[in-house]
């Protein structure tokens, strides 16, 4: 009798196991509308003049070498906008920007570059005067990106294998270092993160 009960329990368990493997849909999972432009990037930041000629190498001024940068889709999965986020590795920026997905290009003009700047702008718009810890008035600072481009297969990872690359110029309204050190903008460039380490 024990043998029959064990057999019955085993049959029930197996039937639940097979039922849990049933395919509920024939839909294939898809990517986002900006999937080829989205990703984790390893970038360095140089400072350049108006013509794009390098004034300072990444190690010279800010020391931004092999920093993470992220590009990703918007909540509504737009095909004409995406987020860009340095996760505090450079200027602490995170904002949505227009893209041309077919050309793999992007740019942004006078965008409030993070949540703090957006909050300051809202307070100013409401007629308030936000201040810093010293009581000085705060300004809602902005960023501008020009000549943003993702080049498929144009970069190389640390093992020499082809990978996608990214490059763009960026300026910030609160960057007073340009006048002090003689540069016009920052050049952010790098390659798609491969998972390999040196």
**What is the pLDDT, as a whole number, of residue 173?**
97
**What's this model's pTM, rounded to 2 decimal places?**
0.83
CATH classification of 34-192 is 2.40.128.220, yes or no?
Answer: yes
Domain ranges of the chain: 34-192
Question: What per-residue confidence (pLDDT) applies to 178?
Answer: 94
- What DSSP letter does each residue of 7-43 carry, written as one string? HHHHHHHHHHHHHTT-----PPP---TTTTT-EEEEE
DSSP E strands in 11-124: the ranges are 39-48, 54-56, 67-72, 81-85, 94-100, 105-112
Q: For residue 86, give both structure tokens.
A: 């340095």
Residues 31 and 39: their CA atoms lie apart, in Å, by: 12
DSSP designation for 179: H
Taking residues 15-30, report their average pLDDT.
56
Q: Of 23-27, 74-78, 123-127, where does mean pLDDT reach its minimum? A: 23-27
- Whether the predicted pLDDT of 6 surpasses 70: no
∠ at Cα 44 (61, 145), nearest 5°?
95
Give the residue-averaged pLDDT of 15-37.
68
In terms of Cβ atoms closer than 10 Å to its own Cβ (0-12, 13-18, 19+), residue 149 is: middle
């Amino acid at each position: 009798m024990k043998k029959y009960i064990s057999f019955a329990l085993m049959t029930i368990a197996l039937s639940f196991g097979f039922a849990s493997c049933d395919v509920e849909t024939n839909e294939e999972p898809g990517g986002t509308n900006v999937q080829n432009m989205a990703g984790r990037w390893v970038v360095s930041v140089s400072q350049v003049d108006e013509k794009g000629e390098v004034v300072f190498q990444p190690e010279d001024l800010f020391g931004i070498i092999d920093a993470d940068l992220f590009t990703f889709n918007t909540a509504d999965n737009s095909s004409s906008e995406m987020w860009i986020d340095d996760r505090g590795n450079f200027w602490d920026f995170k904002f949505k920007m227009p893209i041309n997905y077919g050309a793999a290009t992007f740019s942004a003009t006078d965008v409030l570059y993070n949540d703090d700047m957006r909050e300051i702008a809202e307070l100013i718009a409401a007629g308030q005067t936000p201040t810093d810890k010293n009581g000085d008035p705060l300004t809602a600072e902005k960023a501008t990106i020009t000549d943003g481009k993702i080049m498929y297969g144009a970069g190389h990872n640390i093992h020499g294998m082809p990978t996608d690359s990214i490059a763009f110029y960026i300026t910030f309204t609160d960057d007073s270092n340009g006048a002090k050190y003689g540069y016009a903008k920052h050049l952010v460039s790098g390659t798609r993160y491969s998972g390999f380490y040196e």
